[in-house]
Amino acid sequence: MTIKLADDVSPESLKGTTLVALLNLAQPSPAMALALARFVSAGGGLFISVGDRVDATVWNERMAKLLPQPLGLPRTASALPGQHAGEIVDDRPAERLAPIDRSHPLLASFPEHGEGLVSARFFKYVLLDPAPESPDRSVILRYESGAPALVEKQVGKGRVMLLSTTVDREWTDLPIRTGFLPLVREAARRLVGVTGDDEAASLRAGEARILAFTGDEQRLEVSRPDGSVWVARREQASAARSVLYGETDRLGTYHVRAVGPTAPWWRGPSKTS
């Protein structure tokens, strides 16, 4: 994981990246907005959270193609947390999450009643302006008021998620709840294309993977996170019609493509961690 200030991020620095998180960014530059649109459309994952620094007007103008819903006005549910000496959990009235819908793939591994999430308190969040119904957009989490808390949108080959509050304790105590880290983990996995059904596709850095020739493909290609491509030809395969790929030292998503006599097809991603 690499952490950078917005001014230190260039469009070129997105090469080889699989997931970008913009956390309480005041405003994306026009160049960054364009680069992110290309990045997501090509299959990248983008996570966005808001905060006091966010300029909603600029975001809505420059990131219209990426935002799942336009940013609206902040809503304060109660006094902000952390205002009393020695305070750990703020017990004043605040917004909570509505019951979770475990039919969504991101929430499938959570307990039935959403323990660790529904106990979180939200003292401030950004209301999202209405958006037309679309099969490419879905609300993952809502507040009890019905306002969206976490929304996702499919853009090209990639996906964007928008959290309408902060990822620190400025606006919520979610980060100290037991459901926070699982939520972040599942969001990251979904954004890079690894779901619960792809558990076997997750690798540790440096771990080898056996790739098999199963049809009439002539070669297998592995696209690495840095953009380079490794190629194995059928004549290089063992008697078991397989080859061993071990160059998984870079963190990110590796895509395997089988190339047949006439056209290629994707076998799917493997993700190193």
| Segment 142-191, tens digit of pLDDT | 999 999 999 999 999 999 999 999 999 999 999 999 999 999 989 998 99
Q: What helix, strand, coil percent values describe the chain, rounded to 5?
A: 20, 30, 50
In 180-225, the DSSP E strands lie at 202-203, 209-212, 219-223
Same domain? For 118 and 169 the reply is yes
Question: Which domain-ending residue is among 158, 193, 228?
Answer: 193
Same domain? For 183 and 222 the reply is no
Least confident of 112-121, 237-246, 255-264: 255-264
Residue 34: inside a domain: yes
Whether pTM > 0.75 for this model: the answer is no
What pLDDT, on a 0 to 100 scale, did the predictor assign at position 166? 97
Torsion of CA 212, 218, 222, 227, to 10 degrees: 180
The candidate with the shortest Cα–Cα distance to 162, out of 43, 270, 40, 271, is 40
Same domain? For 175 and 244 the reply is no
Q: Dump pLDDT digits (tens) for 85-131.
A: 444 455 667 899 999 998 898 998 888 888 889 999 999 999 999 98
- Measured CA to CA, the distance from residue 139 to residue 47 in angstroms comes to 14
CATH number, domain of 250, equals 2.60.40
Residue type, 49: S
Sorting pLDDT into bands at 50, 70 and 90, what band is 16? confident
CATH number, domain of 100, equals 3.40.50.880
Q: What angle do CA 238, 244, 247 make, to 5 degrees?
A: 150
The candidate with the shortest Cα–Cα distance to 149, out of 69, 79, 218, is 69
Pick the residue with more confidence: 193 or 33?
33
Q: Taking the CB of residue 119, how many other CB atoms lie within 10 A of it?
A: 15
Same domain? For 189 and 84 the reply is yes
What pLDDT, on a 0 to 100 scale, did the predictor assign at position 120? 94
- Contact status, residue 40 vs residue 159, Cβ threshold 8 Å: yes
DSSP letter for 242, please. Answer: E
- Contact status, residue 175 vs residue 103, Cβ threshold 8 Å: no
Residue 252: inside a domain: yes
The candidate with the shortest Cα–Cα distance to 43, out of 241, 225, 248, 195, is 225
Question: Which domain-ending residue is among 141, 174, 193?
Answer: 193
Residue 116: inside a domain: yes
Same domain? For 26 and 146 the reply is yes
Cα–Cα distance list, 173 to 88, 92, 93 (Å): 9, 12, 12
What pLDDT, on a 0 to 100 scale, did the predictor assign at position 271? 54
Q: Taking the CB of residue 128, how many other CB atoms lie within 10 A of it?
A: 21
- Measured CA to CA, the distance from residue 114 to residue 109 in angstroms comes to 10
Residue 1: inside a domain: no
Phi, psi dihedrals of residue 60, rounded to the nearest 5°: -65, -30
How many structural domains are present in the chain?
2
Bridging pattern class, strands 124-128 and 137-142 = unpaired
Same domain? For 34 and 159 the reply is yes
Residue type, 210: I
What pLDDT, on a 0 to 100 scale, did the predictor assign at position 200? 46
User: Would you put residue 214 in left (φ > 0), alpha (ψ -120 to 50) or beta?
Assistant: alpha
Pick the residue with more confidence: 229 or 225?
229
Over range 59-69, report the average pLDDT.
Answer: 97
Residue 168: inside a domain: yes
Same domain? For 186 and 204 the reply is no
User: Would you put residue 227 in left (φ > 0), alpha (ψ -120 to 50) or beta?
Assistant: left
Least confident of 25-34, 50-59, 151-160, 204-213: 204-213
Cα–Cα distance list, 97 to 42, 119, 218 (Å): 33, 8, 51
Question: Which domain-ending residue is among 147, 174, 193?
Answer: 193
Question: Tokens 């037991």 belong to which residue?
Answer: 178
Same domain? For 38 and 130 the reply is yes
What pLDDT, on a 0 to 100 scale, did the predictor assign at position 91? 60
| Residue percentage of the chain with pLDDT more than 70 | 82
- Contact status, residue 159 vs residue 45, Cβ threshold 8 Å: yes
Same domain? For 26 and 145 the reply is yes
Range of the domain at 127: 6-193
Same domain? For 128 and 107 the reply is yes
Over range 57-80, report the average pLDDT.
Answer: 90
Same domain? For 171 and 36 the reply is yes
Same domain? For 10 and 43 the reply is yes
Mean pLDDT across the chain: 83
What pLDDT, on a 0 to 100 scale, did the predictor assign at position 209? 81
